[in-house]
Amino acid sequence: MERDFKQLVISRQARIGIVGLGYVGLPLALRFVEVGFPVLGLDIDESKVEKLNRGESYIEHIGAASVQAARAKGLTSTTDFSQAKQCDVLIICVPTPLNEFREPDLSYVTGTVDSLVPHLRAGQMVSLESTTYPGTTDEELLPRIERAGLKVGVDVFLVFSPEREDPGNPDFTTRTIPKVVGGHTPACLDVGVAVYSQIIDEVVPVSSTRVAEMTKLLENIHRAVNIGLVNEMKIICDRMDLDVFEVIRAAATKPFGFVPYWPGPGLGGHCIPIDPFYLTWKAREYGMHTRFIELAGEINSDMPQWIVSKVTDALNSRERAVKNSRILVLGIAYKKNVDDMRESPSVELMELLRDKGAQIAYSDPHVPHFPQMREHHFDLSSVALDAASVASYDLVLLATNHDSFDYDLIQKHARLIVDTRGVYREPHRNIVKA
């Protein structure tokens, strides 16, 4: 079985099924198509499937031309999960959020697997790419597959390979980012490496799915902890009347032993604000209290409140209250130059200020209309920036530093700016650094 499967992969006759066509799944599907595999995209979102089948894109940094080229080479998409039986490889790329108690919510993963299991057959590989805690593949996927009468490692090959997409980063692509792969058995690992080696320049095999799961958590917790450190440094520097961005730039001139991380209004994206809580939750099963990780999480989670206090102080200095002030939020995507709104701290800032009575507007060329979100609701569209519109607001809150903003125009005409990203290096009478 293993030998036949690998031959199918190496000859690029294996049909690839990508389950979940978001910021991770769609680039992966396009890459498999690019090297010559037939690809089937599966998603419960009918609008995504319809757009792909029309040759349209719903992700800003992936152009329609890329989708159209993939369609011409064999990409098809469907909401019909029964078509999974036609695939030789099934790669699951679905969200893994937190629930209201900040505990792992695996409902997307388990629901997807439950939808696929009736259509699994011998001779398939199943890979999970969704970020999760160590043990998920063994504890959630393995028993579901084997209850269907398929022996993992013999009939079906089970793999965990964490996604490493960085939306909007032109320096790294799906092909060039090394891919960690862990298998439930040696045969599973062998097959997983064979599949991903077809599309990724460097594949990094590890000894188990649990190691692969922990690897992704370490990568993102490393970043979250260091951002927590510089966010705390930002508060200390603010009290000491120092510019933390100047301090970091100076420290970054050391050619060894220091890596610069940059503070901001909070953490955003699907991974970094969420992944540390996956590990802290799982660690409790082993009697561990992850104090260091949780402290960094608390600091990062508190940043929007701290920014709001800086906004309040800035308005007070101009004899204005937050209530009834007109506040323009610059940038509501979670990071610069993308349209990705997942866990964006800008949205929390908007809600906190709205709750205090402010009249909120936003400007973001990457998000022309505030999208429908499960937990956040604003009936707003992006404001065009010109001298008159900028001058009409009591305060401009610079939350996400898109390159397309005309920062000179904003500085010249804004009554008051609270800069959370260190865009303005020189002091100005109308700029407050936060």
- Which positions are catalytic? 271
User: Cα 11 from chain centroid?
Assistant: 33
End-to-end distance of the chain based on CA atoms, in angstroms? 59
Return the structure tokens found at 369.
């209309």
Q: 10 Å Cβ neighbour count for 349? A: 27
Q: 10 Å Cβ neighbour count for 224? A: 25
Question: Which of these, 303, 305, 313, 226, lies nearest to 265 by C-alpha position?
Answer: 303
Question: Which of these, 136, 165, 197, lies nearest to 25 by C-alpha position?
Answer: 165
- The 3-class secondary structure across the chain, one letter per residue, is CHHHHHHHHHCCCCCEEEECCCCCHHHHHHHHHHCCCCEEEECCCHHHHHHHHCCCCCCCCCCHHHHHHHHHCCEEEECCHHHHHHCCEEEECCCCCECCCCCECCHHHHHHHHHHHHHCCCCEEEEECCCCCCCHHHHHHHHHHHHCCCCECCCEEEEECCCCCCCCCCCCCCCCCCEEEEECCHHHHHHHHHHHCCCCCCEEEECCHHHHHHHHHHHHHHHHHHHHHHHHHHHHHHHCCCCHHHHHHHHCCCCCCCCCCCCCCCCCCCCCCCHHHHHHHHHHCCCCCCHHHHHHHHHHHHHHHHHHHHHHHHHHHCCCCCCCCEEEEECCCCCCCCCCCCCCHHHHHHHHHHHCCCEEEEECCCCCECCCCCCCCCCCECCCCCHHHHHCCCEEEECCCCCCCCHHHHHHHCCCEEECCCCCCCCCCCEEEC
**Angle formed at CA 414 by CA 409 and CA 420, multiple of 5 degrees:** 90
Return the structure tokens found at 401.
């530093």
